[in-house]
Structure 1
Amino acid sequence: MTARSQFRLLAERRFLPFYLTQFSGAFNDNLYKNALLLLITFSTGGLMGLSVDVVVNLAAFLFILPFFLFSGIAGQLADHYEKSRIIRWVKLVEIVIMALAALGLWWGWYELLLLLLFLMGTQSTFFGPVKYAILPQVLSDDELVGGNGLVSMGTFVAILLGTIAAGLIMGLAASDRVTAIAVVLMAVLGYLAARRVPPTHDRHATVAVRLRPVVETWRLMMLAAQRRPVLLAILAISWFWFLGAAYLTQFPNFSRVHLRGDETVVTLLLALFTIGIALGASLCERLTGHAISLKPVPWGALGLSVFGIDLFFAVPGAPQPSTWLTMLTDPVYLRVLMDLVGVGVCGGLFIVPLYAFIQHETPARQRARIIAALNVINALFMVSSALMGMVALGGLKLSIPAFLLLLSLANLLVFLLVTYLRTQAPITSVDK
């Protein structure tokens, strides 16, 4: 760990407590959400007279709905008030929500658990703008890419670990009660970390806070559109979430149908894809020379297409039954794994410099609202990804490899977009 390495930030109070706070939140979100879906799927067989498929999609809708309703208000609050104060209040609310969730898990009140999933989405909505808006306040310009790389790496690793933990807990006899204890414990640990986040002294009292959910979300979109390079960067990041959601959604059926794999293969694909993103994110600081630069972004975009196209040709035509060990030892399957790792690495190279660019190019008094706008557009793109998957796989009857190939080819247009952005958007200086 050299003097200028991004990892030295993990030893400093200005960064470590915030990092642990956001890591615990991402872990807890995914632990709770996946545990609930597994319980509904395997313990209840449905809910409120609805099938499992309907309830699973309802749960996904309830978690993402708050981003459309409350992002405008969340951005205003994060710009108006001092950010460490917002973080502590949000994490305190998480403890209350998870305490109620523990009761629901303990007594099997699944309708309450679905409502609490909506509240967890709401809590995440209010944390999101602070998560990225605080970084330019506590990091210097030559640390911003590295700090974003650590946050992106930590977020995806936390998502992976939370998902795996939910699956492991479901194998226990008293899985519902173990989950209840785990989510409360993680919420408390997250709050304790949040209490150590130093104040940023960046309150902007002139920013008005208006409690008009839908109207303020629309005003976010107008604010984001005022700075064309920033808007293009937002759209590029949202495209990655569109693409990433498509890959993650298809992993279970892709593994079952095209690799003839068991459940361990699904976990392996998810793990390698996530590790790839983490590796790409951690490489960005070195590739940019500690500077805020879009240099890696076109290469990341090109790699997303190259590895995605190769994945189509790497899928075996007549696969043999596979396990995680088969995937790691059979050269036929190793090519598939290498392509997925490549997609992940290129994804990390793609999004981290874009986040740093948006943070740097946005005035401090607007930064949280711009990040909130990014969260709204991310949510729109992920919903669109699910709809496109339904049309392509269900309506057009495309295979999963063909669907991913189509997205990889469409990504070439994004490669042209970010190449244009890099050449036409010089790094400027705005107030921190």
Structure 2
Amino acid sequence: MSQFALLGQRRFAPFFWTQALAAFNDNAFRCALLVLVAFQLGLDDHAAAIYTNLAPALFILPFFLFSASAGQLAEKIEKTRIIRWVKWFEIAAMVIAAVGFVMHHVSLLLVVLFMMGLHSTVFGPIKYAILPQALKSAELVGGNGLVEMGTQLAILLGMIVGTTTMGAAEIGPWLAACITIGVAVVGYLACRAIPAAPATAPELKFNPNTFGETARVIRITHADRAVWNAVLGISWFWFFGTVLIAQLPIYTRETLGGDNTVYTLVLTLFTIGSGIGALACEKLSGKRVEIGLVPLGAFGLTAFGVDLYFARHGVAPVRGLGWLGFLRGAGSWRIALDLMLIGAFAGLYVVPLFAFVQARAPREKLSRIIAGNNIMNAVLIVAAAGFGLGMGALGFSAAEIFFAAALLNILVAGYIFTLVPEFILHFFTWTLANTLYRVRADGLRHIPEEGPALLVCNHVSFVDPLLLMANLRRPARFVMYYRIFNIPLLKFLFKTAKAIPIAGQKEDPAVLQQAWDAVDAALADGELVCIFPEGALTRDGAIAPFRPGVEKILARRPVPVVPMALRGLWGSMWSRRDSALGRARLPRRFRARVELVVDAPVSPEHARAAALEARVRELRGDMA
């Protein structure tokens, strides 16, 4: 099913429109306020600058003050109830904003800006914590992609509508007031259709101490190293994006020589690129949480951020160009492509990170972890503002600030990936699997979404574990021959994947016993363990008899057994075919088609080696 089919389902569509309309109103209101202050109140440059710099600070302040409390509420109370309260709050805020717009009462509008920051603070933990409750695991990446795409487009439309309506002669404040109130009301009506999302920790005791709870939420977020570093990665995305968006007006005027229509164009290009990248995640990841896309996204941010600088970084010889005049200029299409690709790779970078946090974090703590993420985001957004202001004060141009952020991205992303090698491991397996093969996976729904299980599969080639890693929706521990495990250079990869080395009884009884203990411990911890019961690669393409190791594992730890079969790998350069000639067989075609077939779990009392062997033979069929 395509991810767009979710837009026709009640479990997703009302929430999608609720959050998109909220993002629209946030930005429509903020842009209308900025236009009012900058162009319609007759303030001098100094006074206008005070207001325009105060506005972002007031909006972000509630994220520091109330994110922890919002996370608690989202865990303790049924989520759709909170959403309805938030939408009523938004309607009230927009009514107050209408008075401020019409009366040109800036102080009142700044109060509303703080209220909208509080609105976003409370809605944030629900926005991402409700998705795992509403969607299946195979829909999580696609759902996040749609939400990210919808948010980006809503932000863009909100900025355009807020700017143009307030700029309308005489009736601008009335138009802005009517639109923002109307959108808030429509958002409330949409949220009424969101299905119930039960509280995940109803017994949670609410802690009113904001600062103490903030520290606790950060500790909860930090508890899982991989989740914490994913949160840092998301926060870095906000840093990079804030630097980019904050410098775009100056970049448009000074470097591109464009007017407000060029500014709208570059914003549109970045937003469309973000939407494309977000939507592409589902296709590229095969509908699973694929953090291997994150390093690819980080690479694209740097590559096209650097190219944007070299495309044009001097002062524009002509000012006031319209969007059509800009596109007719030399090198403009390269700049347009760079901006769109920065947006696209930003989508590839952030969507898998959000999906990873949702999939990996404990359900009863997810809202608080999202709250912790929002706190870290706020910290990095403030840091980005300081970074831009500081470099600007030192005399750097907007293009040079872009260039510095792109280079800094290498260091930050490299640091995160070094802390969590799992990101690089998945990037390696995803790249290898999608470069060498076109894999069709069937029956992945049979793999339990949580809890222990033993996966058994035929063994055709040296890359079998990598292909399985790249296609299974849950991480699995692979049992592999210890001599292969200890190959220099590759050993780091296998250790990162938490593979379990095993030896024969006559080769090394100690290694064999350690392997049985490690398998049992992994299953006891609720992990997936994958074994190849043939005990070695096939030498003739046929499936060899399954050894009794599977029965030893189940005798010690009875868990469901999932039969799997790989098809189409025999004869590849990584199999043993043609080994009699003393060479590996070269591939006949690029990106050969292979298949992974997964069958329903077998209960441990019926999982005998001979029966599992027969089932895997049946799954593989004639396609060796």
Does TM, scored on the shorter chain, surpass 0.5? yes
Instruction: Find out whether 1:189 has 2:186 as its counterpart.
Output: yes
Return the alpha-carbon distance in structure 1 between the equivalents of residues 387 and 316 of structure 2: 27
SS in 2 for 1:199: coil
Q: 1:135 aligns with which of 131, 138, 147?
A: 131
Taking a change above 3 Å as real, the CA distance of residues 137 and 42 of structure 1, as seen in their structure-2 partners, is same
Instruction: Give the drift of 1:106.
Output: 2.2
Instruction: Find out whether 1:146 has 2:142 as its counterpart.
Output: yes
Partners of 1:63 and 1:120 within 8 A in 2: yes
Instruction: Give the drift of 1:46.
Output: 4.0
SS in 2 for 1:366: helix
Instruction: Give the drift of 1:172.
Output: 1.4
Instruction: Give the drift of 1:205.
Output: 1.4
Whose radius of gyration is greater, 1 or 2?
2
Return the alpha-carbon distance in structure 2 between the equivalents of residues 249 and 318 of structure 1: 18
Instruction: Find out whether 1:265 has 2:292 as its counterpart.
Output: no
Partners of 1:230 and 1:361 within 8 A in 2: yes
Partners of 1:297 and 1:418 within 8 A in 2: no
Return the alpha-carbon distance in structure 2 between the equivalents of residues 329 and 418 of structure 1: 41
My pick for the range that moved more, 167-176 or 416-425, is 416-425
Q: Which residue of 1 aligns with 2:310?
A: 313
**Count of aligned positions:** 426
Q: Which residue of 2 aligns with 1:65?
A: 61
TM-score normalised per structure 2: 0.66
Taking a change above 3 Å as real, the CA distance of residues 95 and 293 of structure 1, as seen in their structure-2 partners, is same
Partners of 1:301 and 1:414 within 8 A in 2: no
Instruction: Find out whether 1:209 has 2:206 as its counterpart.
Output: yes
Taking a change above 3 Å as real, the CA distance of residues 336 and 190 of structure 1, as seen in their structure-2 partners, is same
Partners of 1:98 and 1:187 within 8 A in 2: yes
My pick for the range that moved more, 16-25 or 312-321, is 312-321
Partners of 2:35 and 2:167 within 8 A in 1: no
For 1:217, give the aligned amino acid.
T
Return the alpha-carbon distance in structure 1 between the equivalents of residues 284 and 181 of structure 2: 40
Q: How does 1:155-234 map to 2 (within 5 A)?
A: 155-173=151-169, 174-234=171-231
Instruction: Give the drift of 1:193.
Output: 0.3
Q: Which residue of 2 aligns with 1:408?
A: 406
RMSD: 1.9
Q: Which residue of 2 aligns with 1:304?
A: 301
Taking a change above 3 Å as real, the CA distance of residues 106 and 331 of structure 1, as seen in their structure-2 partners, is same
Q: Which residue of 2 aligns with 1:323?
A: 322
Deviation per CA, 1:383-427: give whole Å up to 9, x if none: 100101111121x21222222111111111234233734146895
Partners of 2:233 and 2:413 within 8 A in 1: no
Instruction: Find out whether 1:25 has 2:22 as its counterpart.
Output: yes
Greater relative contact order (CA < 8 Å, ≥ 6 in sequence)? 1
For 1:368, give the aligned amino acid.
S
Deviation per CA, 1:179-225: give whole Å up to 9, x if none: 11111101100000000000022442122222222222222111111
TM-score normalised per structure 1: 0.95
Taking a change above 3 Å as real, the CA distance of residues 368 and 16 of structure 1, as seen in their structure-2 partners, is same
Return the alpha-carbon distance in structure 1 between the equivalents of residues 231 and 196 of structure 2: 28
Partners of 2:72 and 2:367 within 8 A in 1: yes
Question: Which one has the bigger helix percentage?
Answer: 1
Q: Which residue of 2 aligns with 1:335?
A: 334
Instruction: Find out whether 1:243 has 2:221 as its counterpart.
Output: no
Return the alpha-carbon distance in structure 1 between the equivalents of residues 186 and 106 of structure 2: 25
Question: Which one has the bigger strand percentage?
Answer: 2
For 1:160, give the aligned amino acid.
L
Taking a change above 3 Å as real, the CA distance of residues 317 and 204 of structure 1, as seen in their structure-2 partners, is closer
Instruction: Find out whether 1:106 has 2:102 as its counterpart.
Output: yes
Taking only the aligned residue pairs, the percentage that are identical comes to 44
Partners of 1:361 and 1:428 within 8 A in 2: no
Partners of 1:28 and 1:187 within 8 A in 2: yes
Return the alpha-carbon distance in structure 1 between the equivalents of residues 7 and 109 of structure 2: 35
Taking a change above 3 Å as real, the CA distance of residues 406 and 50 of structure 1, as seen in their structure-2 partners, is closer
Deviation per CA, 1:196-255: give whole Å up to 9, x if none: 000022442122222222222222111111111000000011111101111100111111
For 1:219, give the aligned amino acid.
R
